[in-house]
Structure 1
Amino acid sequence: MIILQTQQVARYFGAKTLFEKANLEVQDQGRVGLVGVNGSGKSTLLKIIAGIDPPDAGQVVYNKGLTIGYLAQNSGLDSNKTILEEMTSVFDYLREMADQLHQMEVQLGSEPNNQKLLNAYDDLLVKFKAENGYGYEAEIRNVLTGFQFPAETFAKSIASLSGGERSRLALAKILLQKPDLLILDEPTNHLDIETLNWLEKYLQSYTGALLIVSHDQYFLDHVTKEIYALSQHELRHYHGNYSNYLKQREQDFQQATQAYEQQQAEIKRLQTFVDKNLTRASTTKRAQSRRKQLEKMDRLVKPQDEEKSLHFHFDITKETGKEVLGVQQLAIGYDQHAMVSPINFDVRKGQRLAVIGANGIGKSTLVKTLIGKIPAIQGTYKFGANVEIGYYDQDLTQLDRSKTVLDTIWDEHPLLPEQQIRNVLGSFLFSGDDVLKVVHQLSGGEKARLLLTKLAMEQRNVLIMDEPTNHLDIQSKEVLEQALQNFSGTLIFVSHDRYFINELADQVLDIQADGSHLYAGNYDFYLEKRQPETNTATTTTVISDNQAQFIADKEQQKQRRRLERAVTAAEEKMQQLAQQDDDLQAAMAQPEIQADFGKLADLQQQLEQVQAAEEDAENAWLQAADELENAE
C-alpha cells in the first residue's frame, strides 16, 4: 500500500531549477534511500516531503492519518531535562493510561460489580498492553544503550552534552516515537561503528517505512531496498540497495552510450548517402528518402557522466623500505594519562591498515602520536627507511583560513606556473573564480577537497589519514577510494566508514580500552573473526552463514565480471565491424570502383559478410547483456 507520493514536485531558486517533475512513492514498510551529489537538493526534497516547506510545483499526497517523524541533518536535541526525562516524555500518554488504570482499580475495589467500569478497565488494559505499557522503560534503556548512553548517564542534563551527543539523542527520541514514516537526513553522522551496526539492526526490524538520505554506502546497502537518485534536476528510481543502484546506473549509461553511438553512425551513413546521391538523377529519389528519414529521426542526446566528480591520483617520488612502521607496547594519551595500552602492530610496504574503535577511544590520539604531534606515554614506534609521511587531519586544521584556494597550493609550489596550479585545482572541482575564495569561506566538503589537493601535490609515500571521508559526498568518496586503491605507497587510515574500509583495508586495527587487536582482512572479515570462540551455537551458525554468503558473493562477482567482459568484447567487436562497414561503403562510393563491376562485386560480397558478422555480434551482445541483467 502506498502511504506517500510526490507528484511532479519542483523547487526553483529564481531562474535556477534545483529539481522538477520529481515523482516518488513510499510503500507501507518501504525502505527507500535518496542519493545525489552535495547541492543536488536531497535535503530540500526531504523537507517538502515532511511538510516543512511547500513545493514550487506539484504536490505531496499523504495516506490518511499518516504520522511522520523527520530528523534534519546534524539536528540536536534542545532540552533542559535529563536524558531519561526527555526520553520518557515520549511515553507520557502511557503514564497517563497507567494512572487511569490505577484509579479504576481503586474504584473497582469499592464497586466490584460495576460492569460498565469493568468493561472500560478491560478495554484500556488491552490498549495499554498493545502499546507496550509494561515494556516501554526497557525499550528506552535498549535504545539509549544502543546509542552509547549507559545507565550512569541517564541523569545527565541534555544541556550539558556535546553537539554530537545531542544529535544521537535526537535520533534516539524519534525512534522511540515510532512514526509510520521515518524521514532521516544523514542519520549516521556522529555515530561510531558499533552504534552504526546497532542502528542498522534496529531499522531493519522497524515496523514503519523509512526514507533516508545518507553518504554511508554500507548503511544504505544494509537498510534500503530501493533507491531514488537526484541527478541533473531529475529524480530516477532504481530497485535494490545502493550497490545494485550503482550497477544499474552504469548499465543504463553504457546502453545509452551505445544507442547514441549507433544512431550517430546511422546518421553519418545516411548523410553521406544523401550528400553523394542527391544531385544524381539515378539516385535522387533514394537520397530524398534518406533525407526525410534523417529529418524525422528522434535525435538522442549524447549521454554525460551521471555526476561531475573529482578525478585525481596520488603519486610518490621514491620507494620506502619493506618495513614501514613498527609499534610495540605503545601507550597513548594526554598529560601522562593513558587512554589505551598496549598497542602493538607492524605495517609493511604497500599495506592498507584501517584503524577503528568507539568514539573517544583514542584513534585520532594514536595518529597524532605517530606523526609526532603528541608524545607517547610509554612504548615505542619506529618508521622504516625512506618514509615520507603525508597527513590528512579530520579537523582540516592544516589549512590557513586566511589564504585563498589558489595561494594554499601555489605557496607550497611557487616554481610551478599559475595555469598548472589551476589545472590541478580544477581536477578537484575548483575552477574559475572558485580558486580565489578564501579558505574560511569554504564549506566542509570544499575544505576537504582542498586538503586532498594539498596532499596529492606532496607526493608522499606513506599516507596517514584521519577520517578522510568526512564532508565528502558519495561520488567524491568513490573517487577517493579509487585513487587510494591505485596508490603505490602505504596507507594508514582512521575511519568509521565501513564501505570505505571494505574497499581499501587489508588489515584492521581495532582499538579498545584494553589495547589493540589486529585482523588480517577487510571490515567484513573483521566482523566474522572478532566473534569470541566461546560464543553460543547460535552465533557459530551466524558466522557460518556469513562465510557461506561471503563465498556466494565472491562467486557471483566472478560470474558478473565474466559477463561484463563478454558484453565489452561484443561491444568492441560491433564497433570494429561498424567501422569496416563504413569503410567498405565509402570505398564502393568511389567513382573508379563504381566503374569497375568486378571490384564492386567483390566489395559488395565483403560488405554482406561484414553485415552478417555485425548481426552475429549484436546477438552475442544482447545475450551477454541479458545474462548480466539477470545475474544482478
Structure 2
Amino acid sequence: MLLLQTNDVVRRFGADVLFHNMNMQIQEHGRTALVGRNGAGKTTLLKMIAGITEPDEGTITKVKDLTIGYLAQDQGLDSQNSIWTELDTVFAPLHKMETQIHDLEQQLADLDSSESNYQQILSTYDNLQTAFKKRGGFEYESRMRGILHGFGFGEDSYDTPINSLSGGQKTKLALAKILLQAPGLLILDEPTNHLDMNVLSWLEDYLKSYQGALLIVSHDRYFLDRVVSDVYDLDNKTLTHYTGNYTQFVKHKQERLQAEWKHYDQQQKKIAKLEDFVNRNIVRASTTKRAQARRKQLEKMERLERPETDDKSIHFQFHSEKDSGNEVLDVEQAKVGYDEQILAGPLSFNVRKPQRVGIIGPNGIGKSTLLKSILHKIPLISGTIKLGANLDIGYYDQEQQQLHPNKTVLEEVWDDHPEVPEKDIRSLLGSFLFVGDDVYKVVHDLSGGEKARLELTKLSFKPINFLILDEPTNHLDIDSREVLENAINEFSGTVLFISHDRYFINQVATDILAMEHDGIKHYEGNYDDYLVAKEKESSPKATSHNSNTIAKAPAGKQSYQQSKEQQRARRKIQRQVDELEQQMTELEEKQTAIQEQMSQPEIATDIGKLTDLQKELDELSAKSEEVELAWTEAAEKLEEFDQEN
C-alpha cells in the first residue's frame, strides 16, 4: 500500500531552483534512503514530507491517519525531566487508560450488580482492559528498558536529568523517544551521528524489524546497506529511483550513466553525420531532395539531453618525499588518560610500513587520547611509545583545533607555505572546492564539512610518509569520503586512523586494532574480516589444556565432538525457551482466572476482596512482563545460534 507520495515538488530560493520534478513514493513497510551531495536539498525535502514546510510547487499526499515522526540531524532532547520520566511521556495515553480502568474498578466496587448501569460499566471496563493490552499496556516498560539498553543507558542512569547529559547523549535519547513513539512513517536525518559500533549494530537490527515505514538520510553507507531496500538519488536538482541497498544503487547508477552516455554519443554522431550531409548537399540540385529529407529527419528527432550529474568532488592525493623505515611505531604497555586518570591500558601493538591500521572501540575509551600521546601532545601515564626513523607525520584532528579560527581559508594554507605563489595555493584550494571568494571566508565561519576539506587541503600540500587520522570522514559527504578512500589506497606510506565509518574501514584497512579499557587486540584484514574473526572467537572450540596450542584431533572426530557440543548448547537454550513459554502460559491463566473472579457479582461488591485481587493481578502482570522479556532474549539467542550453525 502506498503511504505517501510527492508529486512534481519544487523548491526555490529567490530566482534559483534548489530542486524540481521531485517524485517519490513511500510504500507501507518501505525501507527508503534519500542520498545526494551536501547542499543538494535532502533536509529541505524531508521537512516538506514531514509537514514542517510547504513546497513552492507540487503536492505531497498521504493516506488518512498516517502518523509521521521526524528526527532532525543532531536534534537532542531538551528537558528538565529525568531520562525515564521523559521517555515515559510517550505512553501518556496508556497512563490515561490506566486511570480510567482504576476509576471503573472503583465504580464497580461501589455498585450493586443488580443496578441498571452495572453491566454497561462492566462492559466498558472489559473493552478498556482489552484495548489497554492490545496497545502494549503490559509491556511498555520492558520496551523502554530494551531501547535504553540498546542505546547504552543502564538502569543506574534512569534518574539522571536530561539537561545534565552531553549533546551526543541527548541526541541518542531523542532517537530513543521517537522509536518508542513508533510512527507509521519514521523520517531520520543522519541518525547514526554520535553512535558507536555496538549501538549502530543494535539500531540496524531494530530498524530492520520496525513495523512502520522508514525514510533515511545518512552518510553511513554500511548502515544504508544493512537497512534500506530502495534509494532515491537527489542529483542534478531532481530525483532518480533505484531498487536495492546503497552498494547496489552505486552499481546501478554507474550502469545507467554509462548507458545514457553511450546513447547520447551515438545520437550526437548520427546528428553530426546528418548535418554534414545537409550542409554539403542542400544547394546541389541533384541532391537537394535527399538533403531536405534529412533536414526533416533532424527536425523530428527527439534529442537526448547531455547526461549530467553533481560531479563537483574534491580531488587530491597524499605524497611523500622519502621512504620511512619498516618499523614505524611500537607501543608497549601504554596507559593513556588525563591527570593520572587512566582511560585505557595497558596497550601494546606495532605498526609497520605500509600498513593501513584502523583503531575501533567504544566512544570515550581514549582512542583520540592514544593518537595524541603518539604525537606527544598528551603524555602517557605509563609505558613507552617509539616512533621509527625518517618519519614525516601528517595528522588530521577531528576537533579541527589545528586550524586558526581568525584566519581566512587562503591565509590558513599560504601562511604555512609563503614561498609558493598565490595562484598555486588558489589552484590547490580549488581542487578542494574553495573557489572564487570562498578563499576569503574566515575559518570560524566555515561549516564542519568546509573545515574538514581545509584540513585535508593542508595535509595534501605537505610531504607525508606516516598519516595519522582521527575520524576523517566526519562532516564529509559520501562523494568526498570515496575520494578520501582512493587517496589513502593510492598513498605509498603508512596510515593509522580512528573511524566509526565501517564502510570506510572496509575500503582502506589492512589491519584492525580493537581497543578496550584493559587492552588492545590486533586483527588482520578489514572490518568484515574482524567480524568474522570475532564470530569464530565466540564459537565453541576444541582446545587443549595449553591455551597456546590447538588440540590435533582427527578431522572427523573433531567435527563429531563439535557437533555434540553444539547440540548440547542448543538443547540448553531450547529448554530455557520452553520453560519460559510454560511460565508465560501459567501466568496468563492465573490472570484470566483472577479477572473472571473480579467479574463475579459477589466479588464486585466487596471492595476489600476486589482490592486484594487487583493487587495480585498487578503483581502477576509485572511478573509476566519480566518473563516475556526473558523469553524474547532467549528466543533471539536461539535464532542467532541456528543462523550461526
Q: Give your verdict on TM over 0.5.
A: yes
Instruction: Please say if 1:487 is aligned against 2:500.
Output: no
Aligned partner of 2:334 in structure 1 is 330
SS in 1 for 2:416: coil
Residue by residue, what CA displacement relative to the aligned partner does 1:452-484 show, whole Å, maximum 9, x if unpaired? Answer: 000011120111000001111111111111111
SS in 2 for 1:122: helix
Instruction: Please say if 1:347 is aligned against 2:358.
Output: no
Q: Using the TM superposition, give the Cα deviation of residue 539 of structure 1 relative to its aligned residue in structure 2, in angstroms.
A: 7.2
Residue by residue, what CA displacement relative to the aligned partner does 1:488-523 show, whole Å, maximum 9, x if unpaired? Answer: 111111111111111111211111122112211211
Aligned partner of 2:42 in structure 1 is 42
Aligned partner of 1:6 in structure 2 is 6
Q: Given that residues 5 and 25 in structure 1 are in contact (C-alpha distance below 8 angstroms), is that contact kept between their aligned partners in structure 2?
A: yes
Instruction: Please say if 1:250 is aligned against 2:254.
Output: yes
CA distance in 2, matches of 1:128, 1:528: 44
Aligned partner of 2:419 in structure 1 is 415
Q: Given that residues 322 and 349 in structure 1 are in contact (C-alpha distance below 8 angstroms), is that contact kept between their aligned partners in structure 2?
A: yes
Aligned partner of 1:115 in structure 2 is 119
Q: Using the TM superposition, give the Cα deviation of residue 384 of structure 1 relative to its aligned residue in structure 2, in angstroms.
A: 1.6
Change (3 A) 1:394 1:323: same
Aligned partner of 1:81 in structure 2 is 81
Q: Of 204, 208, 217, which residue of structure 1 is paired with 2:208?
A: 204
CA distance in 1, matches of 2:131, 2:328: 65
Q: Of 115, 137, 162, which residue of structure 2 is paired with 1:158?
A: 162
Give the partner amino acid of 1:422. R
Give the partner amino acid of 1:167. T
Q: Given that residues 231 and 307 in structure 1 are in contact (C-alpha distance below 8 angstroms), is that contact kept between their aligned partners in structure 2?
A: no
Give the partner amino acid of 1:184. L
Q: Given that residues 37 and 307 in structure 1 are in contact (C-alpha distance below 8 angstroms), is that contact kept between their aligned partners in structure 2?
A: no
Aligned-pair identity in percent equals 54
Aligned partner of 2:20 in structure 1 is 20
CA distance in 1, matches of 2:514, 2:281: 74
Q: Using the TM superposition, give the Cα deviation of residue 110 of structure 1 relative to its aligned residue in structure 2, in angstroms.
A: 5.4
Q: Using the TM superposition, give the Cα deviation of residue 96 of structure 1 relative to its aligned residue in structure 2, in angstroms.
A: 2.4
Q: Using the TM superposition, give the Cα deviation of residue 123 of structure 1 relative to its aligned residue in structure 2, in angstroms.
A: 1.3
CA distance in 2, matches of 1:43, 1:74: 12
Q: Using the TM superposition, give the Cα deviation of residue 485 of structure 1 relative to its aligned residue in structure 2, in angstroms.
A: 1.4
SS in 1 for 2:497: strand
CA distance in 1, matches of 2:112, 2:166: 54
Q: Of 261, 266, 270, which residue of structure 1 is paired with 2:270?
A: 266
CA distance in 2, matches of 1:110, 1:305: 74
Q: Of 384, 391, 403, which residue of structure 2 is paired with 1:387?
A: 391
Q: Using the TM superposition, give the Cα deviation of residue 428 of structure 1 relative to its aligned residue in structure 2, in angstroms.
A: 0.5
Give the partner amino acid of 1:217. R
Change (3 A) 1:471 1:281: same
Q: Using the TM superposition, give the Cα deviation of residue 311 of structure 1 relative to its aligned residue in structure 2, in angstroms.
A: 1.2
Residue by residue, what CA displacement relative to the aligned partner does 1:91-115 show, whole Å, maximum 9, x if unpaired? Answer: 1221222233333344444558443
Aligned partner of 1:292 in structure 2 is 296
Give the partner amino acid of 1:411. D
Q: Using the TM superposition, give the Cα deviation of residue 296 of structure 1 relative to its aligned residue in structure 2, in angstroms.
A: 2.8
Residue by residue, what CA displacement relative to the aligned partner does 1:28-48 show, whole Å, maximum 9, x if unpaired? Answer: 111111111111111111111
Aligned partner of 1:533 in structure 2 is 538
Aligned partner of 2:148 in structure 1 is 144
Q: Using the TM superposition, give the Cα deviation of residue 313 of structure 1 relative to its aligned residue in structure 2, in angstroms.
A: 1.2
Q: Using the TM superposition, give the Cα deviation of residue 487 of structure 1 relative to its aligned residue in structure 2, in angstroms.
A: 1.2
Aligned partner of 2:436 in structure 1 is 432
Gaps of 5+ in 1: 548-632
Change (3 A) 1:500 1:13: same
Change (3 A) 1:371 1:316: same
Matches within 5 A, 1:476-625: 476-531=480-535, 532-533=537-538
SS in 2 for 1:338: strand
TM-score (norm 1): 0.83
CA distance in 2, matches of 1:239, 1:291: 41
CA distance in 1, matches of 2:306, 2:238: 17
SS in 2 for 1:19: strand
Q: Given that residues 236 and 308 in structure 2 are in contact (C-alpha distance below 8 angstroms), is that contact kept between their aligned partners in structure 1?
A: no
CA distance in 2, matches of 1:23, 1:100: 46
Question: Which stretch has the larger CA shift, 118-127 or 372-381?
Answer: 118-127
Q: Using the TM superposition, give the Cα deviation of residue 237 of structure 1 relative to its aligned residue in structure 2, in angstroms.
A: 1.2
Aligned partner of 1:313 in structure 2 is 317
Q: Given that residues 528 and 546 in structure 1 are in contact (C-alpha distance below 8 angstroms), is that contact kept between their aligned partners in structure 2?
A: no
Q: Using the TM superposition, give the Cα deviation of residue 119 of structure 1 relative to its aligned residue in structure 2, in angstroms.
A: 2.1
Q: How many residues are aligned here?
A: 547
Give the partner amino acid of 1:533. S
Change (3 A) 1:380 1:540: farther
CA distance in 2, matches of 1:130, 1:491: 55
CA distance in 2, matches of 1:348, 1:308: 36
CA distance in 2, matches of 1:69, 1:433: 40
Aligned partner of 1:103 in structure 2 is 103
CA distance in 2, matches of 1:540, 1:518: 30
Q: Given that residues 324 and 389 in structure 2 are in contact (C-alpha distance below 8 angstroms), is that contact kept between their aligned partners in structure 1?
A: yes
Change (3 A) 1:112 1:28: farther
Give the partner amino acid of 1:42. K
Give the partner amino acid of 2:58. G
CA distance in 1, matches of 2:2, 2:196: 34
CA distance in 2, matches of 1:478, 1:12: 30
SS in 1 for 2:538: coil
Q: Of 352, 372, 391, which residue of structure 2 is paired with 1:368?
A: 372
Give the partner amino acid of 2:37. V
TM-score (norm 2): 0.82
Instruction: Please say if 1:406 is aligned against 2:437.
Output: no
CA distance in 2, matches of 1:545, 1:393: 41
Aligned partner of 1:230 in structure 2 is 234
SS in 2 for 1:530: helix
CA distance in 1, matches of 2:309, 2:386: 45
Q: Using the TM superposition, give the Cα deviation of residue 306 of structure 1 relative to its aligned residue in structure 2, in angstroms.
A: 3.9
SS in 2 for 1:261: helix
CA distance in 1, matches of 2:187, 2:13: 24
